[in-house]
Amino acid sequence: MQSDLLSRIKRKKVSIAVVGLGYVGLPLALTFVKKGFFVLGIDLDRDRVRHIAQKHSFITDVTDADLKEAAGSGRFKAFSDFSGLKNCGVIIICVPTPLKRRYTPDISYIKHAVKQIARHINKGTLVILESTTYPGTTEEVIMPLFEQAGLKHGRDYYLCFSPERIDPGNKAFPVHKIPKVVGGINKEACALASALYRHAVVKVVPVSSARVAETVKLLENTFRLVNIGLINELAIMAHKMKVDIWEIIEAAKTKPFGFMPFYPGPGVGGHCIPKDPLYLYWRARHHGISLRFVRLASEVISRMPEYVVERIRHILSFRRMKGARILVVGVTYKKDTKDLRKSPALDIIAFLQKEKCRVSYHDPLIPYLRIGDIRLISKRLEAKTLKCFDCVVIATDHSGLDYGLILKNARLIFDLRNAYRGRKDPKVHKL
């Protein structure tokens, strides 16, 4: 059974199902289509499926042209049910894994997907989980669900974990240029998944188990969380000491070894960094270990939007913020993407609204916003508009913004991203 599936994978004679067509699943699905595989996309969100059928992309890393090319190949179709799985020899799960509460994982999307897969799976199918989760999920949660359906690993199916490593909007590292870590329940499963991914990515990195692969992803993002938390705390300290944290970082990174630059900001957004380390934190507590660095870094980063508002109050020298006119420039969680997930800019706007400020925003990628019951429309970035505000806050440093226009016409600028690197101007305040 294993040798037959391995042969079909090597000859690209196996159909692949990708469950979950978000920022991970859709680029992955199209990558396999380009490599000559037939791919079935499954997503319970009917709007997503409708957009795909109409060749309208809803994520940054996939264009309308990409969807048209995939549809034209005849090797990609998207559905909102699981019935098509019976025709697939490989199933890749790319569903969300949010938090129930601040420190509690929610793997209900994984469980639902696995239960549906178990109902429709063919004998000898390879199942791969890519959704980020805590160590042990593949072996302790997914395998028992298959067993409850009467399916035995190695006899009826093979199971692996391979963490997604997609960086939305990063054109230098699309899916196929990012090495793929693969950990199977056994060596046979790992060999099958490795053979599959070798068709699609630049390098495959097999590890000894699914549990190791699960922990690899959490280590990567925990490393980033801890260092971002550290540099944000140092930025607060540097402001109190009246030294420029950006200048300090630039000087420190000239050291050719032993230092890696991280940069302060208004917080951390996206799906991964705010959440993934807390999966590791939660799991460690079950082993009697408190990952204090992780919790502290998370708390420091979570407080940054409030700190930004405190700084705005100080910059304006207002005892009360009520009525202050604030323009937030850039609201996505990172530059040059349309992604709003957990964007700290949205938290800053919400805190300013609580202070009764008159808040507006500009973002060339986001035409309108809804925060609570308030709907905002992106302001045009013009000289007369800029002059109307007490302070302009650069929350996301999109490449296409006219920073010269802002500098010339804004009364005060709070630069959270070092957009005005090297400039010395009394109206520009930095984080």
122 and 6: one domain?
yes
Whole-structure pTM value = 0.91
196 and 263: one domain?
no
244 and 370: one domain?
yes
Asked if the structure places residue 43 within a domain, the reply is yes
Residues 428, 420 contacting (CB under 8 angstroms): yes
User: Over the stretch 323-381, which tens digit does the pLDDT of each residue have?
Assistant: 999 999 999 999 998 889 999 999 999 999 999 999 999 999 999 998 878 899 999 99
Please indicate whether residue 383 or residue 321 has the higher confidence score (pLDDT). 383
282 and 152: one domain?
no
274 and 414: one domain?
yes
Average of per-residue pLDDT across 239-261: 96
pLDDT of 372: 78
pLDDT of 422: 83
Determine whether 88 is an active site residue.
no
Please give the residue range of the domain that contains residue 300. Answer: 225-430
104 and 134: one domain?
yes
Q: Is 264 exposed, middle or buried (0-12, 13-18, 19+ CB in 10 A)?
A: buried
Question: How far is residue 266's CA from residue 122's CA, in Å, rounded to a whole number?
Answer: 48
201 and 303: one domain?
no
Residues 416, 395 contacting (CB under 8 angstroms): yes
Look at residues 165, 191, 214 and tell me which one is the last residue of a structural domain: 214
User: Over the stretch 265-282, which tens digit does the pLDDT of each residue have?
Assistant: 999 998 888 889 999 999
CATH of the domain at 376: 3.40.50.720
Residues 26, 166 contacting (CB under 8 angstroms): no
Asked if the structure places residue 160 within a domain, the reply is yes
127 and 255: one domain?
no
199 and 234: one domain?
no
Torsion of CA 417, 420, 425, 428, to 10 degrees: -30
Residues 239, 248 contacting (CB under 8 angstroms): no
115 and 136: one domain?
yes
Asked if the structure places residue 42 within a domain, the reply is yes
* Residue among 88, 272, 357, 391 flagged as catalytic: 272
Q: Chain-wide mean pLDDT for the chain?
A: 95
HEC letters along the chain: CHHHHHHHHHCCCCCEEEECCCCCHHHHHHHHHHCCCCEEEECCCHHHHHHHHCCCCCCCCCCHHHHHHHHHHCCEEEECCCHHHHHCCEEEECCCCCEEECCEECCHHHHHHHHHHHHHCCCCEEEEECCCCCCCHHHHHHHHHHHHCCCCECCCEEEEECCCCCCCCCCCCCHHHCCEEEEECCHHHHHHHHHHHHCCCCCEEEECCHHHHHHHHHHHHHHHHHHHHHHHHHHHHHHHHCCCHHHHHHHHCCCCCCCCCCCCCCCCCCCCCCCHHHHHHHHHHCCCCCCHHHHHHHHHHHCHHHHHHHHHHHHHCCCCCCCCEEEEECCCCCCCCCCCCCCHHHHHHHHHHHCCCEEEEECCCCCEEEECCEEEECCCCCHHHHCCCCEEEECCCCCCCCHHHHHHHCCCEEECCCCCCCCCCCCEEEC
Look at residues 191, 214, 237 and tell me which one is the last residue of a structural domain: 214
pLDDT of 7: 96
Look at residues 153, 182, 214 and tell me which one is the last residue of a structural domain: 214
pLDDT of 319: 67
189 and 284: one domain?
no
Asked if the structure places residue 245 within a domain, the reply is yes
User: Over the stretch 290-319, which tens digit does the pLDDT of each residue have?
Assistant: 999 999 999 999 999 999 999 999 999 876
Asked if the structure places residue 111 within a domain, the reply is yes
Asked if the structure places residue 260 within a domain, the reply is yes
Residues 342, 333 contacting (CB under 8 angstroms): yes
Average of per-residue pLDDT across 45-72: 94
Asked if the structure places residue 363 within a domain, the reply is yes
Asked if the structure places residue 204 within a domain, the reply is yes
What domain count does the chain have? 2
12 and 140: one domain?
yes
User: Over the stretch 225-235, which tens digit does the pLDDT of each residue have?
Assistant: 999 999 999 99
Tell me the β-bridge partners of 41: 18, 78
